[in-house]
């Protein structure tokens, strides 16, 4: 589904992705972790080409992303992206947030799109918040609307960039629950997170990044219990103690 082959990226002189090789199968849930600044966001932002890369090949569902003639709008419509800070559209209600792209990108009729949006909001447990504006919702609710917004496009892949890092602790659970459900339904997911509980429960694989390299990859249980590298071991002890 997602295939990185020797992908390299620089921000000016800063080498942020170094020879990334990674293969994600359909239905697989991959958790990406690593210290801040290690390139996790950049890595998953490459998957829908929110970031360009300079070297290597990347195929997403068979589409070559290193090819500049690739139709990005079409690609992005197939991939949901959930941001740390939600980035809902503040001038629209929850329902309008979810229905907008189906109407404008998928050319759905407004009534159909709104029915779809109601369905997706119900799926993330927010059936009763359809008419609320983002600022009238808690952080956890906003993030669930953001997930519904992605799901409304019937994506083949969902990408999450630290979806719970901006949330108060008591709201993390409600967002993770939605993600767990999504994973159990067979969605292909790449999740940047330090939530080890989530990784243990649903991830098929954990990937550890450091300084732009993919340092270690393994099954969640093995990775957390027996990290193979010192860097990973150090990182795990740090997130365990806080």
Partner 1 sequence: MNEFFIFFQTIIPELLQGTRVTLKIAGGALFIGFAVGLPTALIRVYGSPWLQLIVTGYINIFRGTPLLVQLFVVYYGLPDLGLTFSRLTAAYLTLGLNSSAYQAEYFRGAIQSVGEKQMVAARAIGMSRFKAIRYIILPQAFRLVMPSWSNEMISIIKYTAVVFLIAVPDLMGKAKMVSSRYFAPISTYIIVALIYLVIVGLATLILRYVGKRFETPGLESMETATR
Ligand X SMILES: Nc1ncnc2c1ncn2[C@@H]1O[C@H](COP(=O)(O)OP(=O)(O)O)[C@@H](O)[C@H]1O
Residues forming the site for ligand X (CB under 6 A): 11, 14, 16, 34, 36-42
Q: Please tell me what DSSP assigns to residue 162.
A: S
The distance from CA 96 to its chain's CA centroid, rounded to whole angstroms, is 22
* C-alpha to C-alpha distance for 56 and 77, rounded to whole angstroms: 23
Cβ proximity to Mg ion, 114 vs 210, nearer residue: 210
DSSP H or E stretch at residue 22? strand 14-24
Look up residue 22 and give its two tokens: 């990674």
* Residue 80 touches partner 1, criterion: CB under 8 A: yes
* Integer Cα distance of 82 and 108 in angstroms: 22
- Tell me: does residue 76 bind partner 1 (CB under 8 A): yes
89 binds partner 1 (CB under 8 A): yes
Query: Could you say whether residue 74 binds partner 1 (CB under 8 A)?
Result: yes
Token pair 């050319």: residue: 107
Piece of the chain touching partner 1 by CB under 8 A; list 8-16, 86-94, 185-193, 234-242 = 86-94
Residue of 4, 53, 81, 223 that binds partner 1 (CB under 8 A): 81
10 binds, among Mg ion, partner 1, ligand X, none (CB under 5 to 8 A by kind): none
Q: How many CA atoms lie within 13 A of 19 on its CB side?
A: 1
> What does the chain come to in residues?
242
The option from partner 1, ligand X, Mg ion, none interacting with 11 (CB < 5 to 8 A, set by class) reads ligand X
- Measured from the CB atom, the residue of 99 and 235 that comes closer to ligand X is 235
Cβ at position 41, least distance to ligand X in Å = 3
3 state DSSP class of 208: strand
- The CA–CA distances, whole Å, from 229 to 20, 97, 217 equal 17, 43, 10
Indicate the residue among 24 and 103 with the shorter CB distance to ligand X: 24
Strands (E), 61-102: 63-64, 79-82
Residue 111 C-beta: closest distance to Mg ion, Å: 38
In this chain, which of 15, 19, 100, 204 binds partner 1, going by CB under 8 A? 100
Contact between 91 and partner 1 by CB under 8 A: the answer reads yes
Q: Which of 149, 194, 205, 231 contacts partner 1 by CB under 8 A?
A: 149
Which of 15, 118, 133, 181 touches partner 1 by CB under 8 A? 133
C-alpha Rg value of the chain to the nearest Å: 18
Q: Least distance from C-beta 90 to partner 1, angstroms?
A: 5
Here the tokens at position 77 are 């419509």
């Amino acid at each position: 589904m997602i295939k990185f082959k020797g992908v390299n990226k620089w921000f000016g002189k800063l080498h942020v992705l170094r020879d990334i090789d990674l293969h994600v199968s359909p239905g697989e849930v991959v958790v990406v972790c690593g210290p801040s600044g290690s390139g996790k966001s950049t890595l998953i932002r490459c998957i829908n080409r929110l970031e360009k890369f300079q070297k290597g090949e990347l195929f997403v569902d068979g589409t070559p992303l290193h090819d500049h003639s690739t139709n990005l709008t079409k690609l992005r419509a197939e991939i949901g992206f959930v941001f740390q800070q939600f980035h809902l559209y503040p001038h629209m209600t929850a329902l309008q947030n979810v229905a907008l792209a189906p109407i404008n990108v998928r050319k759905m009729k407004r009534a159909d799109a709104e029915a779809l949006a109601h369905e997706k909001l119900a799926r993330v447990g927010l059936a009763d918040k359809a008419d609320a504006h983002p600022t009238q919702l808690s952080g956890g609710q906003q993030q669930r609307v953001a997930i519904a917004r992605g799901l409304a496009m019937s994506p083949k892949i969902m990408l999450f960039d630290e979806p719970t890092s901006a949330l108060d602790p008591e709201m993390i659970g409600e967002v993770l629950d939605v993600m767990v459900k999504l994973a159990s339904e067979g969605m292909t997911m790449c999740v940047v997170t330090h939530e080890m509980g989530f990784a243990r429960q649903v991830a098929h694989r954990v990937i550890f990044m450091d300084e732009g390299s993919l340092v270690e990859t393994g099954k969640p249980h093995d990775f957390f219990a027996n990290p193979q590298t010192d860097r990973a071991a150090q990182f795990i002890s740090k997130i365990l103690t806080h």
